[in-house]
Amino acid sequence: EAGVAQSPRYKIIEKRQSVAFWCNPISGHATLYWYQQILGQGPKLLIQFQNNGVVDDSQLPKDRFSAERLKGVDSTLKIQPAKLEDSAVYLCASSLDQGGGGYTFGSGTRLTVV
């Protein structure tokens, strides 16, 4: 089966610019997660979707970050405006149903804000 697809693979932007990341989960996976991993740290959950509804967005900086999963399939994470401290790897993961069957991660998007 195809894995979790993410794009772009790398992105460099200037501070105050906006950026968007895209994720296509494994077909049939109801739960989708976005994680932020600042280099040198473990991944931190930003938002969790169950189908097209938000389960947990408690750690999403909502003043600048937004995410959607309109049709319950692919998802977009946006940052506007970006800050230097947003430089990180953004990982998308999916699971069949809230962890059931395990978690599959994409290759990540490495964001550098200059």
Partner 1 sequence: SQELEQSPQSLIVQEGKNLTINCTSSKTLYGLYWYKQKYGEGLIFLMMLQKGGEEKSHEKITAKLDEKKQQSSLHITASQPSHAGIYLCGADIGAGGTSYGKLTFGQGTILTVHP
Please give the size of the binding site for partner 1, defined by CB under 8 A.
28
The stretch near partner 1 (CB under 8 A) out of 11-19, 20-28, 29-37, 70-78 is 29-37
Smallest distance from partner 1 to CB 108, Å = 4
DSSP result, the chain: ----EEE-SEEEE-TT--EEEEEE--TT--EEEEEEE-TTS--EEEEEEETTEEEE-TTS-TTTEEEE-TTSS-EEEEESS--GGG-EEEEEEEESBTTBT--EE---EEEEE-
Smallest distance from partner 1 to CB 71, Å = 21
Binding positions for partner 1, 30-69, rule CB under 8 A: 31, 33, 35, 39-45, 48, 55-56
